[in-house]
Amino acid sequence: MIITKKNKHNIPRPTLIRLCKIYALLDEMHEIGESSISSQDIGRRLNVGSHNIRKDMGFIDQSGISGTGYDIATIKDSIKETLGFGRIRKACVIGLGNLGSLLINNSMVPLPCFSIVAGFDSSINTLEIVKTAIPVYPIYEIPSVLKKDHIEVAIIAEKDLTMDSTIERLIDGGIKGIINFTPVLLNSRDTSIEVRNIDIFSEFRYMSALLAISGK
């Protein structure tokens, strides 16, 4: 069964997260020459019940299933097609400190599904000294650059006092998604914009809590 556009849009968020992890696992296994894998093995590796894996697979083309499990190459391509991983979207980086500079200069390991085409910073001094082949601009130019270069996603790598106005500029520029690496929890007033808050500091606290409650 080929998934319809309606079904694709109705994929639950937990399933979407698992499908992304399944794709990464299958991609890794395909690289080392593995050809098939069972739902039980996928579930074991991702610490998820095999019934959840089978349910997740119901949202993609099922032609890669046989008696021996999932054909890795076929299922990987099906997930790629369903979730649009073959499309490279344009992205920009907001905040050109340590993390921002790393992102725009990390050509050795390109970001999956995205190409960074611009950088922004509120400090003119930073813009003058940053070393990158990617064009960089002051924050106030966000709307015009996003529209000119058809940038769909913003990666916020550094918080500053202008965060609220920066979000407004991104919205004015027609941004479709924001990946936020700062501790500031973002929620867009525009519900059509997808926001992912990735708080690295909270992950450290979570790990500390896991160790504490497990008595380690």
What are the pLDDT digits (tens) for 4-19? 333 556 899 999 999 9
pLDDT at 62: 66
Rounded to whole angstroms, how far apart are CA atoms 40 and 91?
37
Rounded to whole angstroms, how far apart are CA atoms 156 and 116?
12
**Distance from the first to the final alpha carbon of the chain:** 47
Rounded to two decimals, the pTM is 0.85
Q: pLDDT exceeding 70 applies to what percent of the chain?
A: 89
Q: How many residues does the chain have?
A: 216
What are the pLDDT digits (tens) for 84-143? 999 999 999 999 999 999 999 876 567 899 999 999 999 999 999 998 889 999 999 999
